[in-house]
Amino acid sequence: MIYPFSSRMGRRNFLLTVSTIISLTLAKQASRRALAHPKFSDYPFSLGVASGDPTSDSVVLWTRLISDSVTETMPIADDLIVSWQIAADPKMRNLVSSGTTIASPELAHSVHVVVEGLSSDRAYWYQFKVGNELSPIGRTRTLPDPTVSPYALKFAFVSCQNYEQGYFNPYRHLADEDLDFVIHLGDYIYEYAANTSRGFPRQHPAVECSDLATYRQRYSLYKRDRDLQAAHAAFPFICTWDDHEVENDYANTESENFEAKQTFLQRRMAAYQAYYEHLPLRPFSRPQGASMQLYRRFQFGNLAQFYLLDGRQYRSDQAGDDNGEGGGQVIDRNCPELNNPNRSLLGKEQEQWLFQALKTSETHWNVIAQPYLVSQLKQPSAEAVRVWTDGWDGYPVSRQRLLEFLHWEKIANPIFIGGDIHSFWVSDLKRDFDNPESEIVASEFVTSSISSLGVPYEQFLSYLSVNPHIKFFESRQRGYVKCTCNQQQWTSELKCVDTVETPQSQINTLASYWVENGKKGTQLSP
């Protein structure tokens, strides 16, 4: 576990603090009763159900009990006994496993049940019960055993769902797909206060999230969305975060607004806890103070290995903030700070973990799942060629280390997937982006947002002439990317809806690109 705290606190003192908190929590729970038959004023499963982090023999089942629809809380201070069942059929008749767990107020009455001993590569259905109330039935799926050769893999990846800026229509269509799992690449919520001047389709609460209560309320608002619930109930989700789960453009312990470090860490601690409480994550990801273990990997038979990265918790501060502005900025690409070799987007330990995991991989495809556009995106202006500092362009030495590693270690079929930029992108990742003849190292696919507004289309379209490694760009549509692969070929379909301004929409495929096993570079499907 990495603890990115200030030196004044130190790892030992932090661990002692966490140990004290856990001891006090356990003592409090021991003196408290657990209710088996509580009474609710509202339906307690109104946030739906979810599953996630699948392996070949296990999966996490999630729900959060909530009763008061006004305060978005459970007005019961006791532990609640929650029963769960998992079955081999959608009518829940052929039970495979069952048990009980405790929903405690310390975790907002959320539960994270790790069901083990399951068969590989098959669908299961699950349901919760508390008192006399039954949850909706969810569907999940285990991964193939690492030693087998699956015929094919099908998954989708998504990011950036701003509740105010549109309805979550893409999720309704995604729920109808035939998929093994879904990867969420961050911005699951937006922390902003309500924007009443833009005429958005929906509205956030009036205040910006800053403490545990307001982050919990924001997740409750998002989780009540029926389309999001449908997607979670249809497939296991594998999730990482970006910035808006805490604060726009934060970097490690640095606030965009130059908030005092210890004050910001209190906010980050609250945000991380709320994130864990509302997603189907394994117990090892439960936050310890303001730190949370999120990067991890998943293997789909011998076909593909996925490396899920954390792009926020360990990064160096963005370059160019000595002008009084925090967070990401568009600055001259020749800024000396950008090329400081000590700066990193992933942090030293996560970067070394990734290199070691890639080096030992024996799968046909290696998928690096992270929140951002990896390709260089030069933005020429009259004064200089500029780059955006919050993504990989803000950490060019860190990016080059990764691309050089992939090249020299001859990693099989590396594929990058990303989000964050609210637009679709397809790119060839090169050792030298400034040389059109440079060798291609990997392929990249970036999804548009679920609902968040896109970047200015005409402005970004004008940049493509000086970025010839970029094969496709579209920022006017919202959607997701569906990927299919076998041992011979990888295909990515860019799926978009016609609107998120109303709850009704149609879905279509904007474009489709493929990569051949053993050959670098993306090709447009006919």
Within a domain: 207: yes
Domain count for the chain, please give it. Answer: 3
**Whether residue 266 sits in one domain with residue 123:** no
Within a domain: 37: no
DSSP 84-151: EEEESSTTS-SEEEEEEEEE-GGGTTEEEEEE-SPPSS-EEEEEEEETTEEPPPEEEEPPPPTTS--S
Contact (Cβ atoms closer than 8 angstroms) between residue 469 and residue 376 = yes
Q: Which helix (H) or strand (E) holds 13?
A: helix 11-30
Computed over its alpha carbons, how large is the radius of gyration of the chain? 23
**Whether residue 384 sits in one domain with residue 495:** yes
How far is residue 379's CA from residue 464's CA, in Å, rounded to a whole number?
Answer: 9
**Whether residue 477 sits in one domain with residue 383:** yes
Please identify which residue in the block is written with the tokens 């769960």. Answer: 84
**Whether residue 127 sits in one domain with residue 3:** no
Within a domain: 38: no
Q: Assign residue 177 the CATH number of its domain.
A: 3.60.21.70
Looking at the DSSP bridge assignments, the partners of residue 83 are: 100, 129
Torsion of CA 313, 314, 318, 323, to 10 degrees: 80
Three-state SS sequence of 43-58 = CCECCCEEEECCCCCC
pTM here is 0.94
**Whether residue 124 sits in one domain with residue 265:** no
Contact (Cβ atoms closer than 8 angstroms) between residue 439 and residue 431 = yes
**Whether residue 450 sits in one domain with residue 301:** yes
Closest CA to 450 of 495, 390, 493: 495
Within a domain: 43: no
Taking the alpha carbons of 349, 352, 356, 361 in that order, is the dihedral positive or negative?
positive
Look at residues 141, 170, 200 and tell me which one is the last residue of a structural domain.
141
Contact (Cβ atoms closer than 8 angstroms) between residue 128 and residue 51 = no
Q: Which amino acid is at 8?
A: R
Instruction: Give ∠ CA 469-472-475 in degrees, rounded to 5.
Output: 125
Closest CA to 69 of 38, 47, 36: 47
How far is residue 222's CA from residue 245's CA, in Å, rounded to a whole number?
Answer: 12
**Whether residue 1 sits in one domain with residue 54:** no
* 526 residues of the chain, pLDDT tens digit each: 222 323 333 433 333 334 434 443 444 555 578 988 888 889 999 999 999 999 999 999 999 999 866 666 677 789 999 999 999 999 999 999 999 999 999 999 999 999 999 999 999 999 999 999 999 999 999 999 999 999 999 999 999 999 999 999 999 999 999 999 999 999 999 999 999 989 999 999 999 999 999 999 999 999 999 999 999 999 999 999 999 999 999 999 999 999 999 999 999 999 999 999 999 999 999 999 999 999 999 999 999 999 999 999 999 999 987 667 789 999 999 999 999 999 999 999 999 999 999 999 999 999 999 999 999 999 999 888 999 999 999 999 999 999 999 999 999 999 999 999 999 999 999 999 999 999 999 999 999 999 999 999 999 999 999 999 999 999 999 999 999 999 999 999 999 999 999 999 999 999 999 999 999 999 999 8
Parent domain of 58: 49-141
**Whether residue 220 sits in one domain with residue 112:** no
Contact (Cβ atoms closer than 8 angstroms) between residue 175 and residue 231 = yes
Q: Terminal CA-to-CA distance of the chain, rounded, Å?
A: 47
How far is residue 514's CA from residue 187's CA, in Å, rounded to a whole number?
Answer: 27
**Whether residue 208 sits in one domain with residue 76:** no
**Whether residue 420 sits in one domain with residue 276:** yes
Q: Assign residue 129 the CATH number of its domain.
A: 2.60.40.380
